[in-house]
Amino acid sequence: MTSTESAPASDKPERKGRLSAEDWAQAALDLIAEQGVAAVAVEPLARRLGVTKGSFYWHFPSRDALLQAALERWESFEQEAVFGTLEAIPDPRERLRNLFQLVAHEAKSHVIYSAMLKALDHPAVQPVMERVSQRRLEYLTASFRQAGLGRSDAQHRARLAYAAYVGFLQLQLQLQQSRPPREEFEAYVEHMMATLIPPLPRQETH
């Protein structure tokens, strides 16, 4: 992120005369977060970076390749952000509750995901989305399994929970004006967890 070649120790982490592929990818990712996937256009990006659009094609063969690079950049970041936080929690039911709460309240980390959700049309988005979804599904399945569900039930519940997650984000996007008050929202999240997280497996009440 900071200096590169002959930088004479500038304190502002702006940019030197020359750009790298990573600079373009990060700029694209910023744009996605701000204005969505559709906003990633070569000419506006070039303007923003203070170069002509022709120079873009030295770094990437096409606009799609840039998008792909940007999204893969996000993919590796989010992987540790989400899973790193949760891995520490040993109790599976507690971990599931945390996962739901994290998803419900930590809006920032879902900005890019939501942007991708709105742009599944785009060929560059689909493969990334697919890998991320697959990974999350497997994680959920394992957690439900540990929480006491059978193999097949755990798979199905994971599918349902993930669908609820995706659909929840969609509803957030769709019903932006008629947003329910905070209290209402918390009650919904509680309802969701109560419905989807299995109860403690009954055991000898000592």
Name the residues that contact its own copies, by CB under 8 A: 36-38, 117-122, 126, 129-130, 133-134, 152-153, 155-157, 159-160, 162-168, 170-171, 173-175, 178, 187-188, 191-192, 195-196
Task: Tell me the C-alpha distance between 154 and 44, whole Å.
Answer: 47
Point out which residues bind DNA (CB under 7 A). Answer: 17-20, 41-44, 46, 51-59, 61-64
Residue type, 165: Y
Q: Least Å distance between CB 165 and its own copies? A: 7
Q: Which does 201 bind (CB under 5 to 8 A by kind): its own copies, DNA, none?
A: none
- From its own copies, DNA, none, interface partner of 53 (C-beta below 5 to 8 A by class): DNA
Residue 200 to residue 78: CA distance in whole angstroms: 30
Q: How far is CA 114 from CA 44, 68, 170, 204, in A?
A: 22, 16, 8, 44
Candidates 48, 203, 72; CA nearest to 128 is 72
Burial 95-120 (b: 16+ CB within 10 A, else e): bbbebbeebbeeeeebebbbbbbbbe
User: Can you tell me the distance from the alpha carbon of 41 to that of 25, in angstroms, rounded to the nearest whole number?
Assistant: 12
Shortest Å, Cβ 43 to DNA: 4
- Residue 35 or residue 62: which is nearer to DNA going by CB? 62
Given the complex with its own copies, which of 19 and 68 has the nearer CB atom?
68
Nearer to DNA, 20 or 101 (CB): 20
Whose Cβ is closer to DNA: residue 123's or residue 167's?
123
Q: At its nearest, how many Å lie between its own copies and the CB of residue 23?
A: 25
Q: Please name which of 153, 154, 78 lies closest in space to residue 114, comparing C-alpha atoms.
A: 78
User: Smallest distance, Å, CB 33 to DNA?
Assistant: 18
7 or 120: CB nearest its own copies: 120
Contact 79, 133 (CB under 8 A): no
Partner in contact with 156, chosen from its own copies, DNA, none, beta carbon below 5 to 8 Å by kind: its own copies
